[in-house]
Chains A and B, each alone.
Chain A
Amino acid sequence: MAFLLAFYLVPVGLLLLQSVEGGSLAAYDKALTDGLYVGVLLDTMLIAAYVSIVCLLLGYPVAYFLAAAPAPWPTVGIIFVLLPFWTSILVRTYGWMILLGRNGIINRLLLESGLISAPFPLLNNMTGVLIGMVHVLLPYMVFPIYAVMRRVDTGLVSAAEGLGAPGWQIFRRVYFPLTLPGVLAGVTLVYILSIGFFITPALLGGGKVIMIAVLIEMQVRQFLNWSFAAALSAVLLAATLLVYLVLRRLFRSDLQWS
């Protein structure tokens, strides 16, 4: 504990102190009123929202598959989710560059099949960042939903069936509400991790997609503007903790996905 105190809380505290250097709130003023930086903040939140929605659409059926498919398939599925999860983000980003580049595999296939006539810009823009982020964060959506689905009492679904409810109604009125805690945990987790993302936007965005973490890094490394970087960090931290605390309020369960 003393270790965490010395090497975690103290440095972060010192950083946050720098944001009010000289007792002025000028750095916050700049971060929260300058159109350029407000734009970055809004972009970040929007990207995080997109990523959360796409992860949910991709992840919910997969979680159901893992929880309900017959014998060997759940194990196989879990391997397909875990292996990318444990592979370095850099390896995966590099893989996406091979796939998405101008002369990448996907553009090649589309060109040769005659579906498009010019390479489709998939890299160094928002599309690339979204694809990369969804890929990294999808497991964080699948695992909490899967954990909840495994505990759902399938007797309730059978009961609804027995009472003659049509399939869609069973899902909407019975199954989905029962898995909602997992969904909310997954969405929150993905959202929190998204707004602080650095590596993927830095590499797949090609300098065109600036998220707040990228902006913080630029302020420190290129402009040495510590007080502004600290203010941005404080804003990011506040947004993260706010989302986290709202979730903890809603459920008393732990945000533990493992």
Chain B
Amino acid sequence: MELNAASRGRRRSRMRPWHIGLYAWCGLVFLFLMAPLIVVFPISFSSSAYLQFPPPGWSLRWYAAYIDDFAWIDATIRSLKVAMATTALSTILGTMLAFSIVRGRFFGKSTFNQISMLPLIVPVIIYSIAVYGLFAQLRLIGNWQVIVLGHTVHAIPFVLIVVGAALRTYDVNYELAAMSLGASRLRAIWRVTLPQIRPALVSAMFLAFISSFDELVVAMFLGGSNMTLPKKMFDNIINAIDPTIAAVSVLQIILVTGILIVVSKIGAGASPAA
């Protein structure tokens, strides 16, 4: 309310007719962006097994259907496991890579950087069938660890962008000061540098987690019959539209919103640790 009053007092004079058009246009675009997220909420509480809108009655049966179905829970647990392993692995590797790219001076550094960014640009389908071919020959399809490897490749660029940006603005003198006081290089990085770039690390971990948790194409090829949650949802959408997926969707939207809130608190707001 205070915010509203403050903004109303400011620069009202600059409002022109085309501003109204602009605001209306943006309102429509925001509606377009939010609409598919909003509609899954009423459907998930529907008492009907068919896609009816507005729902004929309300119930929690699709949430119950999700929790009672071993296949859904199994897929959820597998996805969480893959996402956590991917987060750990890609944060460690990506941070090491960021250090070597930001700090290092060696031949071919920019090529190095560009190769690490390739997974963001090269279509996922190409990478997916490539690793599928390779791991099929090694008879590794269906292991969740293999999916972790594929997801880590795609999460590393995110970590590299976020942590690299933080390292570039970080003042190396803190680390040098710690070393001159007798800390070893590793200890200086661990105790001085990493705590100071913690917001970036948190954001990077969040990006890595979500990118893996939502990923379908790699998991579809490498998972075999061991489905991750997105694969289970994909099959569900293709075969029969049953509102269970609406319940799952709602839970996922809530999870993402929750993580976004947590990250905006810790990720940005953290003061440099003492």
Contact = CB atoms under 8 A, between A and B. Distances in A.
28 contacts: A1-B100, A3-B153, A3-B156, A4-B156, A11-B130, A12-B126, A61-B22, A61-B25, A71-B6, A72-B4, A82-B260, A84-B36, A84-B37, A86-B260, A87-B253, A91-B233, A94-B233, A94-B245, A95-B35, A97-B237, A98-B43, A104-B51, A135-B33, A138-B33, A196-B123, A197-B123, A203-B238, A258-B161
Contact of A83 (B162, B233, B237, B260): B260
B22 A65 contact: yes
Given A97-B241, A233-B125, 18 more contacts: A7-B149, A7-B150, A8-B119, A12-B122, A12-B126, A14-B133, A61-B29, A72-B3, A84-B33, A88-B233, A92-B36, A95-B37, A98-B246, A135-B32, A197-B123, A216-B125, A217-B125, A244-B121
Interface string A97-118: 1110101110010000000000
Given A61-B26, A241-B121, A81 B33 contact: yes
B216 interface: yes
A88 B214 CA distance: 5
Interface in A214-258: 216-217, 220, 226, 229, 233, 236-237, 240-241, 244, 255-256, 258
A60 to B, nearest CB: 10
Interface in B128-173: 129-134, 149-150, 152-153, 156, 158, 161-162
Interface residues of B, number: 76
Interface of B: 3-4, 6-7, 10-11, 16, 18, 22-23, 25-26, 29-30, 32-40, 43, 51-53, 93, 97, 100, 112, 115-116, 118-119, 121-127, 129-134, 149-150, 152-153, 156, 158, 161-162, 210, 213-214, 216-217, 230, 233-234, 237-238, 241, 245-246, 249, 252-253, 256-257, 259-260
A40 interface: no
A70 interface: yes
Interface residues of A, number: 73
Contact of B124 (A64, A105, A196, A226): A196
Interface of A: 1, 3-4, 7-12, 14-15, 18, 58-59, 61-62, 64-65, 69-73, 77, 80-84, 86-99, 101, 103-105, 108, 135, 138, 167, 192, 195-199, 203, 213, 216-217, 220, 226, 229, 233, 236-237, 240-241, 244, 255-256, 258
Contacts of B126: 12, 15, 196, 216, 233, 236-237
A132 B43 CA distance: 19
Contact of A90 (B23, B161, B234): B234
A198 B230 CA distance: 14
B51 A203 contact: no
A2 B189 CA distance: 22
A26 to B, nearest CB: 19
A236 B245 CA distance: 33
Given A8-B153, A15-B133, A94-B246, A58 B29 contact: yes
Contacts, number: 213
B33 A88 contact: no
B29 A83 contact: no
Report, nearest first, the 8 A-B pairs whose CB atoms are least far apart: A196-B123, A95-B36, A15-B130, A11-B130, A71-B7, A91-B249, A213-B125, A88-B214
A93 B237 contact: yes
A86 to B, nearest CB: 5
B248 to A, nearest CB: 8
Nearest to A168: B18
B118 A8 contact: yes
Contacts of A69: 23
Contacts of B230: 88, 90
A244 B6 CA distance: 44
B93 A94 contact: no
Contacts of B134: 10-11, 14
B17 to A, nearest CB: 10
B68 to A, nearest CB: 20
A64 B33 CA distance: 17
B1 to A, nearest CB: 11
B130 A167 contact: no
Contact of B129 (A73, A93, A220): A220
A98 B51 contact: yes
A80 B89 CA distance: 31
Contact of A167 (B18, B29, B34, B217): B18
Given A4-B115, A105-B39, A105-B53, A229 B33 contact: no
A210 B25 CA distance: 32
